Amino acid sequence: MADKRITLAWTGASGAPYGLRLLECLLAQDYQVFLLISSAARVVLATEHGLKLPAGPDAAKKVLVEHLQCHTDKLVVCGKEDWFSPVASGSAAPKQMVVCPCSAGSLSSIAHGLSDNLIERAADVVLKERGQLLLVVRETPFSTLHLENMHKLSQMGVTIMPAAPGFYHQPQSIDDLVDFMVARILDHLGAEQTLVPRWGYDQRQR
Ligand X SMILES: Cc1cc2nc3c(=O)[nH]c(=O)nc-3n(C[C@H](O)[C@H](O)[C@H](O)COP(=O)(O)O)c2cc1C
Q: Which stretch binds ligand X (CB under 6 A): 12-20, 50-58, 177-185, 188-196?
A: 12-20
- What 3-state DSSP class applies to 166? coil
Q: How far is CA 195 from CA 19, 28, 101, 187, 199, in A?
A: 15, 13, 19, 11, 13
Among 14, 29, 89, 115, binds ligand X (CB under 6 A): 14
| CB proximity list for 125: less than 8 A, separation 6 or greater | 87, 88, 89, 90, 93, 131
Of residues 66, 31, 34, the one with CA closest to residue 51: 66
Among 138, 179, 184, 191, binds ligand X (CB under 6 A): 138
Among 8, 13, 35, 77, binds ligand X (CB under 6 A): 13
Site string for ligand X, 106-125 (x = CB under 6 A): x-------------------
Q: Whose Cβ is closer to ligand X: residue 138's or residue 184's?
A: 138
CA pair distance 141, 48, nearest whole angstrom = 20
Q: Whose Cβ is closer to ligand X: residue 47's or residue 170's?
A: 47
168 is in an annotated binding site: yes
Please tell me whether residue 149 binds ligand X under the rule CB under 6 A: no
With beta carbons less than 8 A apart as the criterion, state whether 43 and 12 touch. Answer: yes
Other CB atoms within a 10 A radius of the CB of residue 132 amount to 17
What is the size of the binding site for ligand X (CB under 6 A)? 16
Q: Whose Cβ is closer to ligand X: residue 62's or residue 146's?
A: 146
For ligand X, the binding residues (CB under 6 A) are 11-14, 38, 40-41, 43-44, 47, 103-106, 138-139
